[in-house]
Amino acid sequence: MEKEKILGMTKKEIRAKSRIYARGFGKIKGKKGLQVIYPIFVERGFVKDVEDDESKYIELAKFVSKVPDKKNFYRSGDWLKLRYDVILKYGARCQCCGRDYKNNGVKINVDHIKPRHKYPELSLEFDNLQVLCEDCNLGKLNLDETDWR
């Protein structure tokens, strides 16, 4: 028997993807159901507050279908194109310390100002990206949201 799908995903798949993002917000650990996950997404403004479970699944499916896959994100064509566009606009020089590969031999990264695990909806937003050298990027971790542009 074919399982009912919402936007191409089963309810189990929707819950699993939602849990991954909810864990990134530091709110839950382990397997949790819809009643725990959904309020987190409402609180963050990712989904509308609806009453019935079927509507909640639809709202969650809309959100998780828009957010890039965490596992292969940095290999995706969307990310590689966006990364290239950011470097074209800002240059391959660290926007924090000013070092570059040509003069200083540093590796250049395109950094998410607001971390992906806290703001998955901003993963592919040009305005959430900046160019940092590897040292500055590793130093800031995902704790600092300073915009160095």
Look up residue 137 and give its DSSP letter: H
Q: What is the mean pLDDT of the chain?
A: 85
Which value, to the nearest 10 degrees, does the dihedral of the CA atoms of residues 93, 98, 102, 105 take?
-110
Look up residue 127 and give its DSSP letter: G
Domain ranges of the chain: 11-66, 73-140
- Residues in Cβ contact with 43 at an 8 Å cutoff, skipping those fewer than 6 apart: none
Q: Of all residues in the chain, what percent carry a pLDDT higher than 70?
A: 87
Give 76's Cβ-side CA count (13 Å radius).
Answer: 13
Tens of pLDDT, residue by residue over 6-28, are: 888 888 888 877 777 676 665 56
| Identity of residue 98 | G
Rounded CA separation 137/62 (Å): 31
Tens of pLDDT, residue by residue over 73-130, are: 888 888 999 999 999 999 999 999 999 999 999 999 999 999 987 888 888 999 999 9
Rounded CA separation 9/61 (Å): 7
CB neighbour class for 30 (10 Å; exposed up to 12, middle 13-18, buried from 19): exposed
Q: Which of 68, 149, 138, 142 is nearest to 112 (CA)?
A: 142
What is the per-residue pLDDT for 1? 44
What is the per-residue pLDDT for 27? 54
Rounded CA separation 132/149 (Å): 10
| pTM of the complete model | 0.64
Take residue 146 and report the two structure tokens written for it.
């300073």
Would the pLDDT of 132 be above 60?
yes
Task: Report whether 120 contacts 21 (CB < 8 A).
Answer: yes
Would the pLDDT of 29 be above 80?
no
What is the per-residue pLDDT for 61? 85
